[in-house]
Amino acid sequence: MFGFETLNLKILISKLRMKAVIQRVSSASVTIDSKIVAESQNGLLVLLGIEEADNQEDIDWLSGKIANLRIFGDENDVMNLSVKETNGDIIVVSQFTLHALTKKGNRPSYIKAAKPEIAIPLYEKFVLTLENELGKKVQTGIFGADMKVLLLNDGPVTIIIDSKNRE
């Protein structure tokens, strides 16, 4: 019985992951208590969901993927350039609801989302790693705050990336 429980735990842990919704934006802003805390033009808005099993490997892979994702138009208007190559801005917003479980009933469960004591350090490491990857400051919302996110999706281009499903 012990071996079966261990196997189930390993399967569960292998399915845990950092998720990101990346939106190419013409403009974006984050407002908290009627005050704009982040604002950008021509770049990316990244909604980031963190689970307890996420680690530095997930952060490194995901930040590299986002910085180098070729979703901006080149001189022929072909998506061939990254936010790094276009010197675009990035805003990262924590989004625990990306890990909503909706299988049972109509009220989502957020049990898979990391608790703040785990998620905040990982979120901060992600932002720092992304800044290092870009070579410039990344703007953020405030972890756990009630944020109003305004964006003008360019394209629209929206990409969902899962750090444990690296296809």
d(CA 58, CA 39) in angstroms, rounded, equals: 26
Does 7 reside within a domain? no
Does 62 reside within a domain? yes
Give the domain extent around 67: 17-162
Does 71 reside within a domain? yes
Does 119 reside within a domain? yes
Question: What is the average per-residue pLDDT within 87-108?
Answer: 92
Provide the residue type at 60 as one letter.
Answer: D
Instruction: Give percent of the chain with pLDDT exceeding 70.
Output: 88
Quick check: 24 and 152 in contact, CB under 8 A?
Answer: no
- CA distances (Å), 86 to each of 21, 41, 47, 134, 158, in order? 20, 12, 20, 11, 18
Give residue-wise pLDDT tens across range 36-85: 999 999 999 999 999 988 899 999 999 999 999 999 999 999 999 999 99
Question: What is the average per-residue pLDDT within 115-119?
Answer: 93
Q: Domain with 66 in it: what CATH number?
A: 3.50.80.10
Please pick, among 31, 86, 97, 140, the residue that the annotation labels catalytic: 97
Number of independent structural domains in the chain: 1
Asked if the model's pLDDT at residue 15 lies above 50, the reply is no
- How much is the mean pLDDT over the chain? 88
Between 162 and 106, residue with greater pLDDT: 106
Cβ neighbours for 86, distance < 8 A, ≥ 6 positions apart = 42, 43, 72
Task: Tell me whether residue 97 is one of the annotated catalytic residues.
Answer: yes
Does 100 reside within a domain? yes
pLDDT at 154: 96
Q: Within 13 A of 115's CA, how many CA atoms are on the CB side?
A: 1
Does 142 reside within a domain? yes
Does 102 reside within a domain? yes
Asked if the model's pLDDT at residue 12 lies above 70, the reply is no
